[in-house]
């Protein structure tokens, strides 16, 4: 960041868009209504098959005062590839992500930028709202917790999502996700950035509305795809940490990651007991230490590990 933009950095907001015609206008308008004035908007239309693209164009046409780019993928690539494309095109000093079915509060970027500048932070993390048809809930952090300590934070959306963070762009450009692997893409990026010992600060005020209006039952093939994606990232991150000689420092995180990557083998039917036991078996030694898994399930996993034959 040069001296001219040090106190007024450009922020790139990247929004992958795929078949969210019901929600994309609200999403875009909430972004265009930001009180911060130095924002570039990058919408990546991932070959939507509904009228998402048309609805987005309509919203954009009413907000010509903003810097806005729409990238139209030639084919459906998935969210990870679409985000990577957006990051490649982004010119901002900081980057923020938004999913196209969510929306944000108008002061989000301004307050996050102010926090980043005040504390010379590389990453600003905020809580968020979850919104359903029936209620809105705040998902908050504890003010005294270290949200960047990989060895002690739960492996959950709350901590690893990209959508509740403002991140210095150079770290995102150096740590993109694997193209075509859409499950755990957020975790893969956030964990690598945190491992670099960047400065992470908490702004404990929610701005981002995470929409949970529609529930879709996953098919067995969807479960298997999610499982395979997680295993790919567990192997990828294990190698990444090894190459940088960070394995010992983050052994607790890596064992937790490996265990969580295979958990669907026992949580979905048909249960794959032997595969579960023989996949990252080293992570089973620490089952009882994984505090974000309810105790009764830790006990069941522990017993399964002891009773299942190889």
Homologous superfamily, domain 11-211: Spore Coat Polysaccharide Biosynthesis Protein SpsA; Chain A (3.90.550.10)
- The secondary structure of 137-206 as a DSSP string is EEEPPPTTS-TT-TTTS-SSHHHH-STTEEEEHHHHHTSPPPTT--TTHHHHHHHHHHHTT--EEE--S-
pLDDT tens sequence across 276-289: 999 999 999 999 99
Beta bridge partners of 73: none
The pLDDT assigned to 3 comes to: 45
The pLDDT assigned to 1 comes to: 43
The pLDDT assigned to 145 comes to: 82
Three-state DSSP class for residue 253: helix
Say if residue 109 is exposed, middle or buried (CB neighbours under 10 Å; 0-12, 13-18, 19+).
Answer: buried
As a dihedral over the C-alpha atoms of residue 54, residue 56, residue 61, residue 62, rounded to 10 degrees, the angle is 130
Mean pLDDT by 10 residues, the chain (310 residues): 70 96 96 96 95 93 85 93 96 97 97 98 96 91 87 90 96 92 93 95 96 61 86 96 97 97 90 94 95 93 89
pLDDT tens sequence across 208-248: 999 986 554 445 567 788 999 999 999 999 999 999 999 99
Domain boundary assignment for the chain: 11-211, 220-307
- Quickly tell me which residue has 């009180």 as its tokens: 35
The pLDDT assigned to 2 comes to: 47
Chain-centre distance for alpha carbon 15? 13
The pLDDT assigned to 221 comes to: 65
pTM of the model: 0.93
Say if residue 162 is exposed, middle or buried (CB neighbours under 10 Å; 0-12, 13-18, 19+).
Answer: buried
The pLDDT assigned to 214 comes to: 58
CA distance 247 to 241: 5
């Amino acid at each position: 960041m040069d001296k001219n933009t040090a106190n007024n950095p450009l922020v790139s907001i990247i929004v992958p868009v795929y078949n969210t015609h019901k929600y994309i206008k609200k999403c875009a308008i909430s972004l265009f209504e930001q009180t911060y004035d130095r924002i570039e908007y990058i919408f990546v239309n991932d070959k939507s098959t509904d009228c998402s693209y048309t609805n987005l164009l309509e919203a954009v046409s009413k907000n010509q005062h903003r810097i806005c780019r729409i990238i139209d993928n030639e084919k459906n690539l998935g969210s990870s590839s679409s985000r990577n494309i957006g990051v490649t095109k982004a010119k901002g000093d900081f980057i923020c992500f938004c999913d196209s079915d969510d929306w944000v509060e108008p002061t989000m970027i301004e307050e996050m930028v102010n926090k980043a500048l005040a504390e010379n932070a590389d990453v600003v993390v905020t809580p968020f709202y979850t919104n359903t048809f029936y209620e809105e809930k705040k998902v908050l952090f504890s003010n005294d917790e270290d949200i960047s300590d990989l060895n002690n934070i739960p492996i959950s959306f709350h901590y690893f999502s990209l959508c509740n963070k403002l991140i210095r762009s150079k770290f995102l450009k150096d740590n993109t996700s694997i193209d075509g692997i859409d499950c755990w893409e957020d975790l893969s990026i956030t964990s690598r950035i945190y491992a670099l010992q960047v400065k992470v600060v908490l702004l404990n005020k929610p701005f981002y509305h995470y929409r949970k209006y529609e529930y879709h039952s996953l098919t067995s093939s969807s479960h298997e795809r999610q499982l395979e994606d997680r295993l790919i990232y567990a192997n990828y991150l294990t190698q990444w940490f090894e190459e940088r000689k960070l394995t010992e420092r983050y052994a607790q995180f890596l064992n937790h990651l490996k265990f969580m990557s295979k958990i669907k083998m026992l949580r979905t039917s048909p249960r794959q007991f032997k595969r579960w036991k023989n996949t990252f078996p080293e992570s089973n030694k620490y089952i009882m230490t994984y505090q974000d898994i309810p105790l009764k399930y830790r006990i069941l996993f522990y017993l399964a590990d002891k009773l299942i034959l190889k």
